[in-house]
Amino acid sequence: MLLMMGFFSVFCGFLYNDFMGIPLNIFGSCYNLKTGQRKSPNCVYSFGIDPVWALSKQDLIFTNSVKMKTAVIIGVSHMTLGLIQKGINARYFKNHIDFVHEFIP
């Protein structure tokens, strides 16, 4: 259990750093730095954001857009999980008033 928690802690740290901080160039870029062209049309960066974005003029605009969209997705999924848990708890404890007046609306 502790090994799994440690793994996910490191994984979330990498994700947080890659999206919110300084991107890591672990796998190389899908773009040629001299020409700015893609190396291959099928190239997809394996983890996070391609590090070439840190060198572009649109870096701040792009990363702020990704941060805002990520925050909205995490927020909506967190609220949805809470509502589903509220409905499951209301059904389990046979609290029909909570189910009808809090979960259904």
For 27-76, the pLDDT digits (tens) are 888 988 888 899 999 998 887 888 888 888 898 898 889 889 988 999 99
pTM (two decimals): 0.66
- Residues 45 and 62 occupy one common structural domain: no
- Residues 62 and 103 occupy one common structural domain: yes
Looking at the domain assignment, is residue 9 inside a domain? no
Looking at the domain assignment, is residue 99 inside a domain? yes
- Residues 92 and 64 occupy one common structural domain: yes
Distance CA 13, CA 36 (A): 29
- Residues 67 and 83 occupy one common structural domain: yes
Residues spanned by the domain of 41 = 25-49
Residue ranges in 21-99 assigned as alpha helix (H) = 59-92, 96-98
If you search the block for the tokens 């994984």, which residue do you land on?
11
Looking at the domain assignment, is residue 2 inside a domain? no
Please list the helix, strand and coil fractions of the chain in percent, rounded to the nearest 5, in that order: 65, 0, 35
What is the number of structural domains in the chain? Answer: 2
